[in-house]
Structure 1
């Protein structure tokens, strides 16, 4: 075993500031300028805790991303009436040419018909042959049942795809026998089989199992439920926002959803228990079965996309750069009263490129490279020796959000404490041992949002253990606050991280 450990950690430590970066009007025509609102102009100065690196709606409660004809589109769940979730949810719509500057467009879908009278809930976009984008979405109908509907652009030559038309024959899919009307939602991006048949998965819960119900269609309008689900799991609850996509075993490049051959494996992802879980396996498109390497267990050993505030993630294939890009909703942790007071709730996580690791067992992810364009006023520190118990303050940074890259080198790790990963839950170590509990190697890391006396701080720290013939690196975080009043007095740290070891 090596006697030293070198690893790189990239933090995106984005503390709340003045809103999403405003749109770049140089990309827009005069006609375009009449159809969107400026984020910057509508974000009041009295909202200092809004994000600037993350996409965030202008106000209120914050589905299916897509790349089409040179433009990135983000459709997202939005409550136009409140900072809390409720009836009347719509598909808000924003567009970007570069993942950084976002144009706020008119809502793409709003409740207007019997099949979506109560709300327009989540769904996905698919690009059909002939470069035709379509939306499949869950409508809450007048009887409060969840049904699946189709919408198409009114004008495909419009680069921003502002107007969408709902199919007159909606709904296309209704809850089947054995499925409650409130357990049938969130269609995935559709994929096409070798015979041209379209397939899509609907999230559900039936017979005490989380279920990926499979539907098939020749024309994308008339859908038939397959006799057996693509996959089901007894140790899970209702599946929300499922995702099913291929990942290359030979490259970090993404592949289109319809690719199914020996060069790819498949990922099945589902949102339940307030987290996003996934399994990796093989897709048999003849038998229409997903065969995972391991089932969901309902324990902490299940693979998660992210271990922070992160839910309802969705991927799409970026044909411009051959990337599979993942986005998710960060549902924050403020109280309902605080959400009402500040006027918004929720934001989008930073978009990430995802690919399969070398062992073919789990996903690897990294923030998209476009985010590097947001970096400014760089501060560099090299070769700093951190003695046990020492605290080093990084000077030259006054912004309320910072993007940090750190490389730690730890020599002579022979005496590192042992962890039996088959018996010990790593999550419990992070929960029970905060940054003040000293171990053989760790904790070490960063204090962010720290007061001078360190009574209020957010610690992002690491612990290192030995397990069989490898090292185990735990990344933990903790918040300590001085609760002195409203949310204005103790802003949260919204951070994301990526680790290469």
Structure 2
């Protein structure tokens, strides 16, 4: 069980069949709830349900029965969940705080917002008799409500994707909603439809201020093709979001091909999010069986001023509880053009990190290599970019759009953290200023990790390489 050829060992995936966007992320009494878009009858996208899993540590997950099924109002598309601690909704009927899920009912060319509620810690759900709570205003794409309690204005606030902009709604009780404002038609990237918004407030590292960050997924329109997450930094007064940046500025949360629909957990003091690890360009065709798709590693979020720009920074949650004996620990390694530093890998996930003490090389390469296949990361100092090359990474023929060289701008390399699972790589650069997430599907079973420098040397310090235990054990 959970040991199939392409089964991730660190990342949540359903036991079987199709999964996409994370939904209803909420924390309550020691449990992190992960709901997700789920088709229980096929490994490709189909009529959407809310699948459900819970975890006490964001690493080990227990899959639970389906939470929400389609009904006469339509399929159950994406949304969010909150703990209504003050019972503003009046839906509480037990000693537990009532949980309220706010989701999109997707009918034929008619999307509207509905709610369901749970009085038993999120195990069973009852759909509200008065659904929908927000009818469709005559727009084809009108979905993915993300709700939070706004303390200053003492109301619930909803961010809702509406075509290629975001509508904000307010409510005193999660049932009666009024339109507050609209943002985005002139801002950011518009290569595709906007989806899965989230509005969060983050403290700025090293500064005595907080800023609001509006997260918006967009499909297509990514810098390397297909699905991607963009974000905006600014102010929110309970009614309007005002972006700090010029309208034409675009900020990507993850430059890889395989991080989408990411949203944060509600009712938890620390900002942590998770994303769907795939891309709509080929998600239905990837060769994993008997399931399809996985979630990213949950990531802590922060906001940092980098070269004068507010930048969303991400770091993986603590994985030390999964650490095996170190392959390399706290070493200093000097890479020269004539040498390859090589580590033989077993068939378990790998955690790697290092600081770059000095570099005169034109390129610094990290290669995950078998006999005939490879996945290569290139830190190119001349072009000021990072490239992930998966053209020879194993199975690539399932989609003509999969084999790729994907790029991320990077002025300088100070450090990196790398999480390698059976079919994915997550790269965090410069304390999470830049992130890339990519899938690959190797055919071989024996690999090495090669570190090389071209046209100069690279000195790495505090190098740590560790195999990780499977989270399914």
Q: Deviations over 1:227-268 (max 9, x none)?
A: x3144336524211011111113579xxxxxxxxx9421011
Is 2:12 the counterpart of 1:55? Answer: yes
Structure (1/2) with the larger helix percentage: 1
Partner of 2:362: 442
User: C-alpha distance in 2, partners of 1:482/1:280?
Assistant: 36
Q: Deviations over 1:382-428 (max 9, x none)?
A: 23221125322113x312421111232225x5xxxxxxxxxxxxxxx
User: C-alpha distance in 2, partners of 1:480/1:389?
Assistant: 25
Q: How many residues align?
A: 383
SS for the counterpart of 2:113 is strand
User: C-alpha distance in 2, partners of 1:293/1:174?
Assistant: 32
SS for the counterpart of 2:262 is strand
Partner of 1:399: 347
Is 2:397 the counterpart of 1:459? Answer: no
User: C-alpha distance in 2, partners of 1:149/1:247?
Assistant: 28
SS for the counterpart of 1:247 is strand
> Residue 260 of structure 2 contacts residue 275 of structure 2 at CA under 8 Å; is this kept in 1?
yes
User: C-alpha distance in 1, partners of 2:5/2:112?
Assistant: 40
Instruction: Give the CA RMSD over aligned residues.
Output: 2.7
SS for the counterpart of 2:14 is coil
Q: For the structure 1 residues 282 and 215, does the alpha-carbon distance in structure 2 shift closer, same or farther, using more than 3 Å as the test?
A: same
Match of 2:270 among 323, 337, 340: 323
- 1:308-387 maps to which residues of 2 (within 5 A)? 308=256, 309-317=258-266, 319=268, 322-331=269-278, 336=284, 338-339=286-287, 342-358=289-305, 361-369=310-318, 371-380=319-328, 382-387=331-336
Q: For the structure 1 residues 380 and 61, does the alpha-carbon distance in structure 2 shift closer, same or farther, using more than 3 Å as the test?
A: same
Shift of 1:461: 2.2
User: C-alpha distance in 1, partners of 2:143/2:284?
Assistant: 25
SS for the counterpart of 1:314 is strand
SS for the counterpart of 2:73 is helix
> Residue 61 of structure 1 contacts residue 79 of structure 1 at CA under 8 Å; is this kept in 2?
yes
User: C-alpha distance in 2, partners of 1:172/1:399?
Assistant: 49
SS for the counterpart of 1:190 is strand
User: C-alpha distance in 2, partners of 1:133/1:198?
Assistant: 14
Shift of 1:60: 1.4
> Residue 202 of structure 2 contacts residue 303 of structure 2 at CA under 8 Å; is this kept in 1?
yes
SS for the counterpart of 2:145 is coil
Shift of 1:378: 1.8
Find the structure with the greater CA-based Rg: 1
SS for the counterpart of 2:321 is helix
SS for the counterpart of 1:99 is coil
Shift of 1:279: 1.1
- 1:217-232 maps to which residues of 2 (within 5 A)? 217-226=171-180, 228-232=181-185
Normalization by structure 2: what TM-score? 0.74
SS for the counterpart of 2:261 is strand
Q: For the structure 1 residues 111 and 310, does the alpha-carbon distance in structure 2 shift closer, same or farther, using more than 3 Å as the test?
A: same
User: C-alpha distance in 2, partners of 1:163/1:269?
Assistant: 29
Partner of 2:386: 475
For structure 1, which runs of at least 5 residues remain unmatched after alignment? Answer: 1-39, 253-261, 414-440, 466-471
SS for the counterpart of 2:8 is coil
Structure (1/2) with the larger strand percentage: 2
Shift of 1:306: 0.7
User: C-alpha distance in 2, partners of 1:485/1:496?
Assistant: 19
